[in-house]
Amino acid sequence: MSDFIQNLPDGWTIYLWLVVAAGILIAAGFMLRWAAKNNQFDEDIKYVLFDSDDEDKMEPEEFEKYKSVMKDQYAERDEFLKEQQKRSK
C-alpha cells in the first residue's frame, strides 16, 4: 500500500480533497433536507421551553403566542402518535 502511495504522481492529494469536500457537501445537503422536512427551522420553538407559570415573565402578546404555539405542538404530536399507532398495527 505504501508503494502505491509513493508511486502516485505529484498533485494527487488535491483530488482526494475534492472527493472529501464533495462528500461533505452531499452529506450537508441531506442533513439540511432532513431538517427542513422535520420543522427544525421553526423560530417559534423557543416557546416550547415555557409553561403556563411563566405568564408573569412574558408580555401579553408573547403569552398568547406561547399558547398558540403549544396548541399547534400538541396537535402535531397527536397526529404523529396516530400515524405511529397506524403503522404498528
Q: What is the pLDDT of residue 57?
A: 87
Domain spans of the chain? 1-41, 42-89
Per residue in 6-46, pLDDT (tens digit) is 887 888 889 999 999 999 999 999 999 999 998 788 778 77
- Report the percentage of the chain scoring pLDDT > 90: 45
Residue 70: strand, helix, or coil: helix
Q: What is the C-alpha separation between 58 and 1, in angstroms, rounded?
A: 65
* Mean pLDDT, the chain, whole residue set: 89
Average pLDDT over residues 58-78: 90
Angle at 67 between CA 63 and CA 72, to 5 degrees: 145
Q: Quick one: pLDDT at residue 46?
A: 79
User: Which amino acid, 38?
Assistant: N
Q: What is the pLDDT of residue 39?
A: 79
Residue pair 44/65 in contact by the 8 Å Cβ criterion? yes
Between 57 and 32, the more confident residue is: 32
- Give the per-residue pLDDT at 2: 78
- Residue 32 to residue 19: CA distance in whole angstroms: 20
